[in-house]
Structure 1
Amino acid sequence: MDDFSTTKTLGEQSDHPILHNRSSRLLLCTVLLGVLANWFFFDQLPGISIPLFVFAFYSVFLWNTRSIVTVRRDFSGFLLIPISLLSLTYLIFSNMVFYALNLMAIPILIVMQTTLAAGRSKSAWHSVKFIGDVFLGFFYRPFAFLFLPFRLIAKRLSKGLSMGKSSTLTRVLLGVLIAIPLVVIVVTLLASADEVFSYFLGAIPELLEAINFDEFVPRFIFATVIALCSFSYIWSLITKRRPLTTFREPEDYVNLANSIDHVVAATILSIINAIYVFFTLIQFSYLFGGFSLDLPQQFTYAEYARRGFFELILVTLINFSILLALIYWTKKVGKVMDRTIQVLESLLVGCTLIMLGSAFIRMYLYEQMYGFTYLRVLTHAFMILLFVLFIFTLCRIWNVRIELFKYYLLTAITAFVLVNYFNSDVLITKWNMARYEQTGKIDVGYLSSLSDGAIPQLTGLLQAEDEAVRAKTENYLFERKKELNDERSWQSFNLSRLHAKKVLANFELRHNKAYDYHTPDLPND
C-alpha cells in the first residue's frame, strides 16, 4: 500500500514551500470544481454539463500534476478516447439506461486513466492485479486526504499567530474582530438618528429570509464533498510516488499456478464435453435445422426459446470460468498430456460457441413473438461480446504468450462504447414497427418509454391503419411535445431532445382521452 500518512506529510513537510504552493493551488482548483459541480448537476438533468465537467476535472488534474503527468501514446492515453466518447453521449443521446450505466463506467475509466498516467499503479494495466489499483482509486484515494485542507489552513493560521509578525490574513481577521463591537455601537446610534437608515436596516432580515436555506445547505454540502474528494484523490496521485518494483506479494499469498492436476483437468473436461456434445446434437435437431426432428407438440418455438435462454447464458459463463481456471492453473507435465488438455479445452470452447449460437437464435425467436426491448437487444450485444472473448480464449489455449486480460479489457471497453453509439432506441422502434407491419402487434406504451431519440421514428405510427395505435401514439407525442417546449437550463442541453423538438414542431397534435397511452406491457425477460 502506498504511504499516505497525512501526519508525516504535515508534521515533517508542512514547512516546505512546495507543499504549501501545491496544496493551496490544488485546493483552490478543487473548490472551483465543487462550485462547477453544484452549478452543473444540482437539480439539473444531465446534458452538456457532463462533458464540460469531465473537461474541467482533467484541466484541474493535468495542471496540478503537470510535473509528473504527460499524455502518452499508451493505454493511459487510449483511455482518454472512451472517456471523451462516453461523456459526449450525454450531449448526443437521451437514453436514461445508458445515462445510468455511463455514470458508473466514466468514473471507472477516469480512475484507471489517472492512476496509470500518474504512475501510481502497482501492477501493469493488462494484469488482473490492476483491478486492485482501481479499487484503491475508488475506495481509498478520495478519502485519504479529506482532512488535509483543514489541517493546512489551521497550520498556517497558528504559524502566523505564533510568529509575532502576523500575515496579511491574520491582520485582516484581527481587524474584523476589533471592528465588530464598533459596528454594533455605530449602527445602533445611526438607526436611532435617522428613520430612513433604520428602515433599510430593518429590511436586512427580510433579505436573509429570501435566501432558501433548504436548498442552500444541500448545495453547499454537495459542492464541499466534490471539492474535498477531488482534492484528496488528486493529492494522493501527486505525493510520494513509488516505482512498480516496490510492490511485493503478502507473505501469505497463495500461488494457484500448477495447482490443478493434469489428470483431474482431463477427467473434468472429458465428462463435461460428453454432455455438451449430446446437447449440441439436440440444438442442431431443433434450432439449426441440421436434422429433421420437430419440437414436441406441447412447445411452440417462442416457448422453447424462452424456457432455456437464461440457462444457456449461465452455462456459458460457467464454462468461461472453467476454461480460465484450467488455462492458468493446470499443471504442465508433458507434451502429449498438455496437447490432450488443449484439444479438450478447444472442444469445450466449440461446444460453448454452439450454445451461444443456440441462445442467440432462441432470443431471436422470442423477439419475433413478443417484440424488441432494451434488455433483449443488450442481451444480443452481450452474447456477441462473449463470442469474441471465447475466440480470444481459443487463441490463448494454443498460444501461451497471449495476455488474455489485455484483450478482454480492450474488447469490453470498445464494445461498451460501440453499444452506446448503437442508438438502440431508434433500432428498437424500427424493428417493432417492422414487426407491426407483419403481425399487426405493437406496444405503443413500451415505445413511449424510450428516449427522445425514438420520436422521429414514432411519428410514422401517426399514419397507422389501427385507430387505437394511431391515437395512443398521438397522445404520447402530444404530451412529449409540451414537455420539450418547456424551458430548460443550458446545463441540460441535449441534441437528441433538440432534434425531437424540431421534428414534433412540424406536427399538429391533439389529445384523445379515449386512447390515453398505457404503461409498457411487453415481457421484460
Structure 2
Amino acid sequence: MASDKPSYRRETAVLGAAMLLGVIHQGLFYGRDWGLSYPLFTLCFYLFYYWAIRERERLRLNSSLLLLAPVVLLSLTYALFTNLLFMILNALAIPCLLIVHTTWTVRGREISRMNAGAVILSLLEQLFVHSLRYAPLPGKLAGRLIAGRLRAERYRQLWKVLTGLVISLPILLLVGALLASADTMFDRMISGLPRLLSGIPVGEAVIRAGWVVVAGGAMFVYVWGLLYPKEKPPAEEGRTMLTLRHEEGGWEPGAAVSGPAKPVRMDPTITATLLLVLNAVYMLFAVLQFSYFFGGGAAALPEGVTYAEYARRGFAELVIVTLINFALLMLTLHGVERTSRMMNRSLRVLAAMLIGCTGVMLCSAYFRLSLYEMAYGYSITRILVHAFMLFLVGLFALALYKVWNERFRLFRPYAIVSIAAYVLINYIQVDAVVASSNLERYEKTGSIDAAYLGTLSYEAVPYLVELERRDPNMREAAEALDRVEERLTRESSPSWTEFNWSKWKASRALGSR
C-alpha cells in the first residue's frame, strides 16, 4: 500500500496519545491481577486505534468489524471467569486476534485476495517488518521535541551536560568509596543516605516510567507501521522466492528468482492407492466398532476386560489417527495433481470415504470417553477433549463439502469456525460443567472426588456448596471448601480494576454455608 509522508505534528500527536495509553496500561496492570482492567484497556486501545487511523480508514460496518467481537468477548473472560488454562491461552489468543483485526482493517482489500499461507506471511511481515522498523522513531521524536524547545546552542550544551554526568558516575562511585574509607565521619554520612532516601520510592517510579515508555512506544510503533508500511522498491514488485538447484550430491539452495513457482504436487495414482488401502482398514475397524458399541457386542470382549478399560485403551490412539486422517485429507484436497476427470472423481469418492470412516472413529472415541467418564468421573481434560472432537466434526463436515465443490475455499470458514469454537469454549464455563456433571454422577453412583472439585476455578464453588448441603457429613467437601475460602481470602483485592464475577459469586456462595 502506498503511503504519503506523515507530518511532524501528526507523529507527535499519535505518540502523545500512545504514551497516554501507556500511562493507563501501567495504572491498570502494574502490581495488579487481571480482571475488569483487561476489557477496559481493550476499549481504550481501540479508541486510540480508531482515532489514530481516522484519516486513513473510517469506521465502517463491514466484515473486518466482525473480528472485533471475539476480541471483546475473550477480553471479558478476565472479568467473568477464573479458569487458569483459558487465562493463559487468552493471553496469547487476544493479541493474535487483535493483530489480525487491526491489519485486516487497514489492508483488507489486499489480504482478501490472498490464500491462507500468504495471509499468515503478510501478518508476520506487518509485525516484524513494517512496524518494527519504526522502533527508533519514538526516541527520535522525543529528541526533536526537546530540540524544538531549545535553541541549537542550548540543545548542544544539554547533550554535553548529560554526557558529562554519564562519564562522571563511575568516577564518582570510586572517589566516594575512597573518601569513605579515609574519613570515618564522611563514611557515616554516606552510610546514612540510604535511610534518608528509603522513603522515596525511586525504584518503583523508575519501573512505572519504564513501563509507560515501553507500552506506549510499542503501541505507537505497531499502529504507525499499519498506517505507513515500508514501500517495496520497483525491483521487488514481482514475487520472489527461493529455488533449489540440483548439484552432485543432492539439492542445494539456489538464487532468488522472480515469478510464480510451480507448487509441488503428489501423484494422483499414489494418493489414490494410499487412500484405498487406508479406507479398507478403516472399513474393517468401523464394522468392529458397530459390533462392540452399537450392536450389543459387549459379550465378545476379552475375559476380564470391562467397558471402561476397553474405552481407555483405545481412545488416545483414535484421536491420533483422526488427526492423521485430517492431514491426509488436506493433502488430498490441496496437494494432488488433477490429471483426468476419472481420477478426479475417484479421489473425491476416496476422500469422502475417508471422511465417513473418520466420522465413525470420532463417534467411537466420543463414546469411549463417555464410558470412561461414567466409570471414573469428569475432568477438565476430558470435557475439553469432548469439545475438540465436536470441533473436528465441524472441520470434517466443511471438508466433505469441499470434496464435492472445488470452488469452495476452506481457509475463511475454518478461521470462522475455529474462532467461534474457541470463544464458545471460553463461555461454557468448563469448570462449572465438570462440577455439575460430577454432581449428577454422584446422585447416580454415590461416588465423587470432592478434593478434585476444590482444585477447580471459582466457577465450581456453587456446586461444591450444593454438595455440602446434600451431604453435610462429607468431610472431603467441607475441607475442599475451606481451602477454596482460604485461597479466595488470600487473592481478594480492594481494587475495583481487579473485579471478577466468578470470585464475587464464589464469595456469596461461601457466605451462605
Q: TM-score, normalised by structure 2?
A: 0.82
Any idea what the Cα deviations from partners look like across 1:391-433, whole Å, max 9, x if unmatched? 0000000001111011100000111111111111211111111
Q: For the Cα contact (< 8 Å) 1:111–1:137, is it kept in 2? A: no
Inter-partner Cα distance in structure 2 for 1:441 and 1:37: 47
Q: What percent of counterpart residues are identical? A: 35
Q: Does 1:469 align with 2:476?
A: yes
Inter-partner Cα distance in structure 1 for 2:239 and 2:356: 37
After TM superposition, give the deviation of residue 465 of structure 1 in Å.
5.7
Inter-partner Cα distance in structure 2 for 1:133 and 1:251: 15
Q: For the Cα contact (< 8 Å) 1:456–1:503, is it kept in 2? A: yes
Between stretches 83-92 and 70-79, larger displacement belongs to 70-79
Q: What amino acid is the match of 1:62?
A: Y
Q: What amino acid is the match of 2:53?
A: T
Rate the CA distance shift 1:478–1:108 in 2: closer, same or farther, 3 A.
Answer: closer
Any idea what the Cα deviations from partners look like across 1:276-325, whole Å, max 9, x if unmatched? 11111222222233656622124222222222222211111111111111
What does residue 249 of structure 1 align with? 239
What does residue 55 of structure 2 align with? 67
Q: Does 1:419 align with 2:425?
A: yes
Inter-partner Cα distance in structure 2 for 1:135 and 1:362: 41
After TM superposition, give the deviation of residue 339 of structure 1 in Å.
0.9
What does residue 73 of structure 2 align with? 85
What does residue 321 of structure 1 align with? 327
Inter-partner Cα distance in structure 1 for 2:157 and 2:50: 34
What does residue 189 of structure 1 align with? none
Inter-partner Cα distance in structure 1 for 2:156 and 2:335: 69
Q: What amino acid is the match of 1:237?
A: L
Q: SS of the residue aligned with 1:119?
A: helix
Rate the CA distance shift 1:30–1:89 in 2: closer, same or farther, 3 A.
Answer: same
Any idea what the Cα deviations from partners look like across 1:53-111, whole Å, max 9, x if unmatched? 11111111111111112233333110011111111111122222211111111111100
What does residue 337 of structure 2 align with? 331
Rate the CA distance shift 1:435–1:267 in 2: closer, same or farther, 3 A.
Answer: same
What does residue 372 of structure 1 align with? 378
Rate the CA distance shift 1:126–1:382 in 2: closer, same or farther, 3 A.
Answer: farther
Any idea what the Cα deviations from partners look like across 1:414-457, whole Å, max 9, x if unmatched? 11111111111211111111122222222222211212122112
Q: 2:497 aligns with which of 480, 491, 494?
A: 491
Inter-partner Cα distance in structure 1 for 2:121 and 2:438: 43
Correspondences of 1:138-287 after superposition (within 5 Å): 138-140=127-129, 143-158=132-147, 208-240=197-229, 248-252=238-242, 255=261, 257=263, 259-287=265-293
What does residue 23 of structure 2 align with? 35
Rate the CA distance shift 1:367–1:217 in 2: closer, same or farther, 3 A.
Answer: farther
Q: For the Cα contact (< 8 Å) 1:46–1:492, is it kept in 2? A: yes
Between stretches 438-447 and 22-31, larger displacement belongs to 438-447
Q: For the Cα contact (< 8 Å) 1:462–1:470, is it kept in 2? A: yes
Inter-partner Cα distance in structure 1 for 2:375 and 2:202: 55
Q: 1:297 aligns with which of 303, 306, 309?
A: 303
Q: 1:479 aligns with which of 476, 486, 497?
A: 486
> Structure 2: which 5+ residue stretches go unaligned?
163-191, 244-259
Correspondences of 1:343-358 after superposition (within 5 Å): 343-358=349-364
Q: Does 1:362 align with 2:368?
A: yes
Between stretches 126-135 and 381-390, larger displacement belongs to 126-135
Q: What amino acid is the match of 2:242?
A: D
What does residue 104 of structure 1 align with? 92
After TM superposition, give the deviation of residue 332 of structure 1 in Å.
1.6
Rate the CA distance shift 1:276–1:257 in 2: closer, same or farther, 3 A.
Answer: farther
After TM superposition, give the deviation of residue 207 of structure 1 in Å.
6.8
Rate the CA distance shift 1:291–1:63 in 2: closer, same or farther, 3 A.
Answer: same
Give RMSD over aligned pairs: 3.1
Q: SS of the residue aligned with 2:347?
A: helix
What does residue 193 of structure 1 align with? none
Rate the CA distance shift 1:37–1:277 in 2: closer, same or farther, 3 A.
Answer: same
Any idea what the Cα deviations from partners look like across 1:121-158, whole Å, max 9, x if unmatched? 85328731211123234444553222111122334555
Q: SS of the residue aligned with 1:252?
A: strand
Between stretches 152-161 and 349-358, larger displacement belongs to 152-161
Inter-partner Cα distance in structure 2 for 1:35 and 1:317: 46
Inter-partner Cα distance in structure 2 for 1:340 and 1:286: 31
Inter-partner Cα distance in structure 1 for 2:287 and 2:326: 21
Rate the CA distance shift 1:291–1:302 in 2: closer, same or farther, 3 A.
Answer: closer
- Alignment length (residue pairs): 463
Q: What amino acid is the match of 1:279?
A: F
What does residue 510 of structure 1 align with? none
Inter-partner Cα distance in structure 2 for 1:237 and 1:371: 50
Inter-partner Cα distance in structure 1 for 2:434 and 2:151: 70
Inter-partner Cα distance in structure 2 for 1:427 and 1:97: 15
Q: For the Cα contact (< 8 Å) 1:285–1:291, is it kept in 2? A: yes
Inter-partner Cα distance in structure 1 for 2:481 and 2:264: 65
Q: For the Cα contact (< 8 Å) 1:95–1:425, is it kept in 2? A: yes
Rate the CA distance shift 1:373–1:291 in 2: closer, same or farther, 3 A.
Answer: closer
Rate the CA distance shift 1:473–1:358 in 2: closer, same or farther, 3 A.
Answer: same
Any idea what the Cα deviations from partners look like across 1:153-206, whole Å, max 9, x if unmatched? 334555676767x8xxx69979x99xxxxxxxxxxxxxxxxxxxxxxxxx9986
Inter-partner Cα distance in structure 1 for 2:57 and 2:325: 41
After TM superposition, give the deviation of residue 217 of structure 1 in Å.
3.8
